[in-house]
């Protein structure tokens, strides 16, 4: 397997030799002692990671490392650069991060810590590469109108949309709240021969029962108190187009009979009317409840169920869509930065970790709302877990591997020990049987605030 390329840029030959010796087994190490050599090496070798000394000189005000930061970033789109600095240059290091550096590291050099930083940076890099590939796939499937996904589960949904859209068949879309049922309904309509005709949505659970019949089928003047004139219902508004009946499981049984009649004969009757009106309307319905169970409770007609579920498109939970959660997070990030006129931001590594592990009970809608909030309140270029409303140690995580399970339990135990010793690092480290520096590393890794 080909090794990742790591470029060490430092004017101190001892540091270059030390890091080469420590990292050579895992990475292909490239060395540079000055700015010109660093740029030339980067352009020729295109490293994945660069450890860049800020000063690169013994002169007190020299900052050649800062000068070549942006040219190095321009060499490759995914390159990760960590600024290596002394305590006197912390302000420069934070400035470097604002200009695109991945992180900074304070001397003296510890090869184990540098190795850990490289591993984290390369994980982020791998994810970014995968996201770019997925985004290209999405652009190729732009006909799905804001439905974002590259997971196998969503590919099945896309295939069904492509297959069903050209027909006039009734479609039932099922899935939890927030999974994007209306987006699928719109995609079905806008990829159909009816795309230039009306698309009329109505939420059957959001309108009082006594008003829903009039909303759906319209009414004549004088049909009831307050009916001062004729009103066209949603079905007539959708004529030659599509009507989307969201939360159809909430439809009263008396209206289910009228809907069944329309599906059989394509006619409606306004409330208070005396004649039938023939319409050409395609029906797409959606529900987040189990209609078969509703049938057993006699809350939904069985004959209607079989008429509306000729084609069933079931949407997966966000938690079951793998890397789609990151794809969606980046999609919303770009969209809301543009919508609110903000400079394009990025997620911190810890924010990405939270996004991947969170259970997302509210599905895509919850993710969208959290990203929107973060864009509005964040004053920096990087979105943090706090910006998205995550609280370390409190949010519900979904470990996907044995390693993640161990990490979560390790983090919980460290917090417990720190709380027991009221934040005393020395006592907590002794209790955990680790060094203070290792404890600090673990606290940084799990984003546990220092006391």
**5-135 and 170-316 share one fold:** yes
Q: Which of 236-245, 317-326, 410-419 has the lowest mean pLDDT?
A: 410-419
**Confidence band for 123, pLDDT divided at 50, 70 and 90:** confident
CATH T-level fold of 402-445: Arc Repressor Mutant, subunit A (1.10.10)
The torsion angles phi and psi of 293, rounded to 5 degrees, stand at -70, -35
Give the mean pLDDT of 43-65.
79
* Domain 170-316: top CATH class: alpha beta
**Confidence band for 419, pLDDT divided at 50, 70 and 90:** confident
> What does the pLDDT look like over 336-391, one tens digit per residue?
998 988 888 888 877 888 898 888 999 999 999 999 999 999 888 889 888 999 87
Give CA–CA dist 286/181, Å, rounded: 7
Distances (CA, A) of 280 to 213, 243, 246, 266, 300: 19, 10, 19, 7, 25
The shares of helix, strand and coil residues in the chain, as percent rounded to the nearest 5, are 50, 15, 35
For 43-102, the three-class secondary structure string (H helix, E strand, C coil) is HHHCCCEEEEECCCCCCCCCCHHHHCHHHHHCCCCCCEEEEEECHHHHHHHHHHHHCCCC
Decide if pLDDT at 182 tops 80: yes
Decide if pLDDT at 142 tops 50: no
Instruction: Compute the residue count for the chain.
Output: 451
Helix (H) or strand (E) holding 220: none
* Domain limits, the chain: 5-135, 170-316, 319-383, 402-445
* Domain 319-383: top CATH class: mainly alpha
Decide if pLDDT at 121 tops 50: yes
Decide if pLDDT at 394 tops 50: no
Q: Which pLDDT value is given to residue 403?
A: 58
Mean pLDDT rounded to a whole number for the chain: 85
Give the bridge partners for 347, in sequence order: 383
CATH T-level fold of 5-135: Rossmann fold (3.40.50)
Give CA–CA dist 67/318, Å, rounded: 43
Give CA–CA dist 349/122, Å, rounded: 11
Decide if pLDDT at 139 tops 70: no
> What does the pLDDT look like over 289-305, one tens digit per residue?
999 999 999 999 999 99
Distances (CA, A) of 39 to 72, 121, 158: 7, 20, 45
**Higher confidence at residue 226 or residue 232?**
232
**Higher confidence at residue 77 or residue 262?**
262
Decide if pLDDT at 60 tops 60: no
Burial class (CB in 10 A: 0-12, 13-18, 19+), 150: buried
Helix (H) or strand (E) holding 149: none
What SS3 state is found at 320? helix
Query: Are β-strands 267-268 and 277-278 bridged in parallel, bridged antiparallel, or unpaired?
Result: antiparallel
């Amino acid at each position: 397997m080909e090794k990742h390329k790591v470029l060490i840029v430092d004017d101190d030959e001892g540091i270059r030799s030390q890091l080469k010796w420590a990292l050579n087994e895992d990475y292909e190490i490239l060395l540079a002692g000055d700015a010109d050599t660093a740029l030339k090496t980067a352009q020729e070798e295109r490293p994945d990671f660069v450890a860049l000394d800020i000063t690169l000189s013994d002169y007190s005000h020299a900052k050649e490392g800062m000068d070549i930061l942006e040219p190095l970033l321009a060499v490759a789109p995914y390159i990760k650069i960590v600024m290596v600095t002394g305590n006197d240059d912390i302000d420069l290091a934070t400035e470097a991060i604002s200009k695109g550096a991945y992180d900074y590291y304070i001397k003296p050099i510890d090869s184990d810590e540098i190795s850990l930083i490289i591993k984290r940076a390369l994980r982020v890099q791998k994810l970014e590469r995968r996201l770019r590939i997925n985004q290209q796939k999405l652009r190729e499937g732009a006909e799905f109108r804001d439905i974002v996904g590259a997971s196998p589960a969503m590919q099945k949904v896309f295939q069904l949309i492509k297959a069903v859209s050209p027909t006039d068949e009734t479609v039932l879309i099922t899935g939890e709240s927030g999974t994007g049922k209306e987006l699928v309904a719109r995609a079905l309509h806008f990829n159909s021969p009816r795309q230039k005709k009306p698309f009329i949505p109505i939420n059957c659970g959001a309108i009082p029962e006594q008003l829903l019949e009039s909303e759906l089928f319209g009414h004549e003047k004088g049909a009831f108190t307050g009916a001062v004139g004729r009103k066209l219902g949603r079905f007539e508004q959708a004529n030659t187009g599509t009507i989307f009946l969201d939360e159809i499981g909430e439809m009263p049984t008396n209206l289910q009979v009228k809907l069944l009649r329309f599906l059989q004969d394509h006619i409606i009757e306004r409330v208070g009317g005396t004649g039938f009106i023939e319409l050409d309307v395609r029906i797409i319905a959606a529900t987040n409840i189990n209609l078969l169970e509703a049938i057993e409770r006699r809350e939904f007609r069985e004959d209607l169920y079989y008429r509306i579920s000729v084609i069933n498109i079931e949407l997966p939970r966000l938690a079951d869509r793998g890397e789609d959660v990151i794809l969606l997070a980046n999609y919303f990030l770009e969209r809301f930065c543009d919508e609110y006129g903000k400079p394009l931001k990025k997620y911190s590594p810890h924010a990405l970790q939270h996004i991947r592990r969170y259970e997302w009970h509210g599905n895509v809608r919850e993710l969208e709302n959290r990203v929107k909030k973060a864009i509005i309140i964040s004053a920096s270029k990087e979105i943090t877990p706090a910006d998205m409303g995550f609280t370390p140690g409190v949010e519900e995580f979904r470990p996907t591997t044995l390693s993640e399970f161990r990490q979560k339990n390790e983090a919980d135990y460290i917090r417990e020990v720190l709380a027991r010793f009221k934040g005393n690092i020395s006592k907590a480290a002794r209790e955990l049987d680790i060094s203070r520096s290792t404890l600090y590393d673990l606290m940084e890794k799990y984003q546990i605030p220092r006391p």
